[in-house]
Amino acid sequence: KQEVTQIPAALSVPEGENLVLNCSFTDSAIYNLQWFRQDPGKGLTSLLLIQSSQREQTSGRLNASLDKSSGRSTLYIAASQPGDSATYLCAVREYGNKLVFGAGTILRVKS
């Protein structure tokens, strides 16, 4: 059974720092991996989608990498801002149409 783990569970950094969020998964048989952002009491906003054949994707200050063979992905946030404060979730799409989610990393960027 696929399991997705996100480390750390919570992170607090000063504004301007570069930071890395980690996601690991136990079964490498995936179609893709998706990173989401969730603000308190809100739905999920898709940040980046990496297909299993890709190594990384970039959008603005965000860069996500995927190492499928080792079951790892990282989300790199450059020059963090207070507006980046949110919960970040990663999810892998298994063969069979299911997205399996990690529990998330709660990020707080202090001004």
**Cβ 20 to another protein shortest distance, Å:** 20
DSSP result, 34-72: EEEEE-TTS-EEEEEEEETT-SEEEETTEEEEEETTTTE
Closer by beta carbon to another protein, 26 or else 45: 45
Closer by beta carbon to another protein, 4 or else 21: 4
Cα 20–chain centre separation = 9
DSSP result, 16-33: T--EEEEEEES---EEEE
Binding site for another protein (CB under 8 A): 4, 31-32, 34, 36, 41-46, 49, 51, 89, 91, 93, 95, 97-104
**Cβ 56 to another protein shortest distance, Å:** 16
Closer by beta carbon to another protein, 71 or else 104: 104
Query: What is the C-alpha to C-alpha distance for residues 20 and 78, in angstroms, rounded to an integer?
Result: 9
